[in-house]
Amino acid sequence: MSLLEIENLSLAIGDTPILKGIELSVAPGEVMGLVGESGSGKSMTALTIMQLLPHAARASGRVSFDGIDILAATEDQMCALRGDDIGMVFQEPMTALNPVKTIGEQVAEGIRWHTKASRAEAEDRARKMLDRVGLPEAKFPLSRYPHELSGGQRQRVVIAIACALKPKLLIADEPTTALDVVLQAQILDLLRGLVSENRMGLLLISHDLAVVTEMADRITILRHGEVMESGDTAQTLSAQLHPYTRQLAQASMHVPARAKVHAAGSAKPLLEVEGVTRDYPGRRTSLFKAAPSIRAVDDVSLSLAPGQSVALVGRSGCGKSTLARMILALDKSTLGTIRFRGETITGKSEAELKAARRDMQVVFQDPYGSFDPRQKVAKLVAEPLHVLEKKPTPAERREMVAHALHEVGLGISDMDKYPHEFSGGQRQRLSIARAIITRPKLVVADEPVSALDVSIRAQILDLFAELNQKLGVAYLFITHDLTVARAITDEVLVMHDGKIVERGKTGDVLDHPQSEAAKALVAAAPDLHRAIARRMREQG
C-alpha cells in the first residue's frame, strides 16, 4: 500500500489554476522524484501535502497520507502530522533556520512538542540526530547559532529537524540547489542513508534531471501544473517516450555548437594576472591583538587571450568570486598585479580605470536581483554607456540599446518595459545585453545560468557561444557546475582554498582530473548519461 496517495489533485489560487489533476504516490522506503521547471507546480504540490498553502489557495481531489485524508484534516490534525510523520526540507539553507535560536533549540523544539519529552531528553535526542547528519558534538555543540555554520552545515541541521522523529515521509524541495556539487553529493548521500535506515518514503523535488535520476526509484514529470509522464526512472528516461521528457533530457545535456578556436599564446594576452593575493581581516580573538587575516585568494596567476573562453571552477568559498572582483577592479588585491590589454589596473584610481571598464563587463548570477525594479529596460541596458569617451546623444543611446537587445534575441518593443515584465531567462538576456553594449573585450560571468531552468539555460549558453563567435569577446566563467564549463569553455582553471590547483584544456581536465580538488568536483557532478546507465543496471 502506498504511504502517500495523491489522486486528481487540482489547486487554484484565486482564479489562477496552479495544479490540474495531479496523480502521484510514494511507498514506504521509496524515493519518488518530482521533476519540472520553475512554475510547474512542484513546490505547490509539496505545500499541499503539508497543508502550508497560501490563504487564497483552494485544493480539490484527494490526498491521503497513511490513511488520513489530508485535504479534510483539521489544523490540529495537521500539526500532529507535520514534523512527526511528515518532515520537510527546503531549498534555501541560508534562511531556513531562525537566526536568534541555537541549532540545539531548533532541533529539540519539534521533539519536545510532539513527544512531550523533557528538555534534557529532547536535547539528548537532538544531539544524536545532529551526530547522525554529520555534525559531531566536538565541532558543533547544541549551543551553535545558524550564522556560525556554512550553507551545507545549515542544510544538515534542517534535515536533522525534519528527520528527528523518524518521519514516514520526507519531502525535500530542491534540497541541494543552493549548494555546490561536492556538498550536493554529500547531502544526497545523507538522504539516501536516512531512507534506507528508517524505510522512510522520500518525495524529492528538483529541476535537475541528473540529481533525480541518481536518487529516485520512480519519477514524475510536471509541466504547467500537469503530470506529463511518470514511471520507473530508468525506463522513463531511457525510452523518453513523452516529447517533453525528451526535451528536458536533451536540454540538460545541451552543448552549444562552437567552432573550436582560440589556442592561447597566438596573440598578446588580453588579461594577465600575476601573483595576486587577497587577505581579509579575520575574526578578532582578543581586544589587544590584531585580527589574524584570512587569505581568500593566494598567489594566483593566469592569462586570457582575446576571444578565449575560460572557466574558473571550484567549490563555494574557494575564492573564485573574490578573484573575479579583483579582475573587474571592484576589489583591491593585497599583493600582485593585474594587467588588462597590457595596462596595469591594480592600484589605479576610478578615473584612470574608465578606459579599462569600457572593455570589461560583468553578468551576475541572479537575474532578479541585478536590476533596479523601478527603471525601464532602455535605461538599465544603457547604464554602462557612461564609461564611453564621448557621451552618446539620446537618439544614439536608444540606437545602441536597440542593437544590443537585438543581439541577445529581444525586440525593440522591450525597451520601454520594466524588469518584472520579463521571465528569468529573458532577464538574463537583458543582463547580457547590458554587458555587451560597450563592445567589451572581456565579459566576466559569475554563475550566469545556475538560477535558470534547463531549457532556458541551454538557450542562454547558446547565446554566450554565439556572441563569442560574432563579437570575439573573451569570457571568464565562474561556476561550480562542470556541465557549463564543458559546454562553453576552451580552458579550465580549478581553484581550491584560494589557489589554482589545476589548469588545462576543458576536455582534458574534466575527463582526466589530476588534483584532489578537481577529482572531487568531477566525481560529485551529477551526470545524466552516467545516472541513467547506472539506473538501467540496477532496475534491469
3-state secondary structure of 431: helix
The phi-psi region of residue 29 (left if phi > 0; otherwise alpha if psi is between -120 and 50; otherwise beta) is left
The minimum distance between CB 118 and another protein, in angstroms, equals 18
x-or-dash pattern for another protein, window 513-532, by CB under 8 A? Answer: --------------------
x-or-dash pattern for another protein, window 149-188, by CB under 8 A? Answer: ---------x--xx--------------------------
User: Which one, 106 or 233, has the nearer CB to another protein?
Assistant: 106
Report which of 243, 299, 262, 330 is spatially closest to residue 488, judged by C-alpha positions.
Answer: 262
Q: State the DSSP H helix or E strand holding residue 357, giving kind and residue range, or none if neither.
A: helix 350-359
The helix, strand and coil proportions of the chain, stated in percent and rounded to the nearest 5, come to 40, 25, 35
Q: Of 98, 118, 196, 266, which one interacts with another protein (CB under 8 A)? A: 98
Confirm if 489 and 458 have CB atoms less than 8 A apart.
no
Q: Of 14, 58, 101, 280, which one interacts with another protein (CB under 8 A)? A: 101
User: Which one, 83 or 425, has the nearer CB to another protein?
Assistant: 83
User: Which one, 50 or 471, has the nearer CB to another protein?
Assistant: 50
- Would you count residue 113 as binding another protein (CB under 8 A)? yes
- Would you count residue 293 as binding another protein (CB under 8 A)? no
The minimum distance between CB 154 and another protein, in angstroms, equals 11
- Would you count residue 90 as binding another protein (CB under 8 A)? yes
User: Which one, 288 or 374, has the nearer CB to another protein?
Assistant: 288
- Would you count residue 99 as binding another protein (CB under 8 A)? yes
The minimum distance between CB 205 and another protein, in angstroms, equals 14
The minimum distance between CB 95 and another protein, in angstroms, equals 4
Report the distance separating Cα 126 and Cα 136, nearest Å. 11
- Would you count residue 96 as binding another protein (CB under 8 A)? yes
- Would you count residue 97 as binding another protein (CB under 8 A)? yes
Report the distance separating Cα 405 and Cα 432, nearest Å. 9
- Would you count residue 290 as binding another protein (CB under 8 A)? no
The minimum distance between CB 236 and another protein, in angstroms, equals 29
Confirm if 431 and 364 have CB atoms less than 8 A apart.
yes
β-strand partners of 89: 172
Residue holding cell 545585453? 433
Confirm if 100 and 94 have CB atoms less than 8 A apart.
no
User: Which one, 157 or 460, has the nearer CB to another protein?
Assistant: 157
The site for another protein, by CB under 8 A, has a size of 37
Which cell goes with 500? 589554482
Strands 4-13 and 16-26: antiparallel
Angle, CA 200 vertex, CA 167 and CA 71 arms, to 5°: 60
- Would you count residue 148 as binding another protein (CB under 8 A)? yes
User: Which one, 52 or 261, has the nearer CB to another protein?
Assistant: 52
What one-character-per-residue DSSP string does 371-429 give? S-TTS-HHHHHHGGGGGSSSPPPHHHHHHHHHHHHHHTT--GGGGGS-GGGS-HHHHHH
The minimum distance between CB 151 and another protein, in angstroms, equals 13
- Would you count residue 92 as binding another protein (CB under 8 A)? yes
β-strand partners of 339: 272, 344
The minimum distance between CB 171 and another protein, in angstroms, equals 9
* Residue type at 350 in one-letter notation: E
Site residues for another protein, 43-82, by CB under 8 A, read 50, 52, 75-76, 79-82
Confirm if 229 and 221 have CB atoms less than 8 A apart.
yes
- Would you count residue 114 as binding another protein (CB under 8 A)? yes
- Would you count residue 283 as binding another protein (CB under 8 A)? yes
The minimum distance between CB 184 and another protein, in angstroms, equals 19
User: Which one, 91 or 506, has the nearer CB to another protein?
Assistant: 91
Q: Terminus-to-terminus CA distance in the chain, angstroms?
A: 23
- Would you count residue 140 as binding another protein (CB under 8 A)? no
Which cell goes with 64? 491521503
Q: State the DSSP H helix or E strand holding residue 313, giving kind and residue range, or none if neither.
A: strand 309-313
User: Which one, 161 or 271, has the nearer CB to another protein?
Assistant: 161
- Would you count residue 100 as binding another protein (CB under 8 A)? yes
3-state secondary structure of 476: strand
Report the distance separating Cα 346 and Cα 127, nearest Å. 49
User: Which one, 65 or 464, has the nearer CB to another protein?
Assistant: 65
Beta strands in 76-217 (DSSP E): 86-89, 169-173, 201-206
- Would you count residue 119 as binding another protein (CB under 8 A)? no
Positions that interact with another protein (CB under 8 A): 50, 52, 75-76, 79-84, 87-88, 90, 92, 95-102, 106, 109-110, 113-114, 145, 147-148, 158, 161-162, 283-284, 287, 291
